[in-house]
Amino acid sequence: MRKKIVAGNWKMNTTLSEGIELARQVNSLVENNPSDVTVVVAPPFIHLAEIRKLLTNVYLAAQNCASESRGAFTGEVSVEMIKSTGAQYVIIGHSERRSYFKEDNDTLFKKTKLAIDQELIPIFCCGEQLSEREAGKYFSTVKDQLDETIFKFDERQFRKIVIAYEPVWAIGTGVNATPQQAQEMHKFIRELIAKKFNESLAEDTTILYGGSCKPSNAKELFDNPDVDGGLIGGASLQAGDFMAIIQSF
């Protein structure tokens, strides 16, 4: 049985004290409203260890990790360091990392492998640009992104991965994919997994939707059979909105 997950990607927002307060609010809302949804927050790196101490019902993710395991890489944060804070997840391949920091498929493969080796669960992002959607190339773009990264793993490794489909044109724009657009892409990804590996692994893989998901549209997105939750940016910065999204299942 695949998991339902709602993960909040805080991006480069919140000071340490603001982050602690937000995490405290999210944790207490989740504690008081038990459900079968796995809730994850992804604060900035420097908050991880502090926030871990106060989470009881919420899991912790880093937003990124280094593509090398250790050494002379000034400013980088390794998966081992992330793991040592008590975090359980790491977001890899977010479109902002791909575009602003020029992270390519080889780099993302290395990061994902390191995460799996350290038993951190990768939340691996994929998704097409607006121009690719308009040109009708969205299926092939996503297929190429997966073929060149996580489809290189064996079944045992792939089983650890959570996928997030995030159409780039929907991220932070207020324009979400329609439920139909999300469902058809999630179904397509699941079919690719079935072809590449097998049907049961495809059924067991959690595929999240991300991109302008908010309380007003979460239910119609999550109601789709192949949408197993969300990776939430802007709306995860307000505990009440984030909780409303979690309760949309």
Q: Would you name the residues annotated as active-site residues?
A: 94, 166
CB of 158 to ligand PGA, least distance (A): 22
Using CB under 6 A, pick the residue from 234, 243, 245, 248 that binds ligand PGA. 234
Does 245 participate in binding ligand PGA (rule CB under 6 A)? Answer: no
Cβ-in-10-Å burial (0-12, 13-18, 19+) of 186 comes to buried
CA pair distance 32, 227, nearest whole angstrom? 25
* Contact with ligand PGA (CB under 6 A) among 4, 5, 6, 9: 9
CB-based contact 36:8 (threshold 8 Å): no
- CA angle, 162 as apex, 139 and 6 as ends, to 5°? 105
Residue number with CB closer to ligand PGA (197 or 222): 222
Q: Is 211 in the site for ligand PGA (CB under 6 A)?
A: yes
* H-state helical runs in the chain: 16-32, 48-54, 79-84, 95-100, 105-117, 130-134, 138-147, 155-158, 179-196, 199-204, 218-222, 239-246
Q: How many CA atoms lie within 13 A of 198 on its CB side?
A: 6
Residue 62 makes contact with ligand PGA by CB under 6 A: no
Does residue 171 belong to the site contacting ligand PGA (CB under 6 A)?
yes
**Span interacting with ligand PGA, options 26-34, 68-76, 101-109, 233-241, rule CB under 6 A:** 233-241
Q: Is 213 in the site for ligand PGA (CB under 6 A)?
A: yes
What token pair was written down for 87?
């975090």
Q: Is residue 5 within 8 Å of 218, Cβ to Cβ?
A: no
Least Å distance between CB 91 and ligand PGA? 8
Stretch that binds ligand PGA, among 68-76, 187-195, 219-227, 229-237 (CB under 6 A): 229-237
Site size with ligand PGA, rule: CB under 6 A:
13
Question: Where do contacts with ligand PGA occur on this chain (CB under 6 A)?
Answer: 9, 166, 171-172, 210-213, 231-235
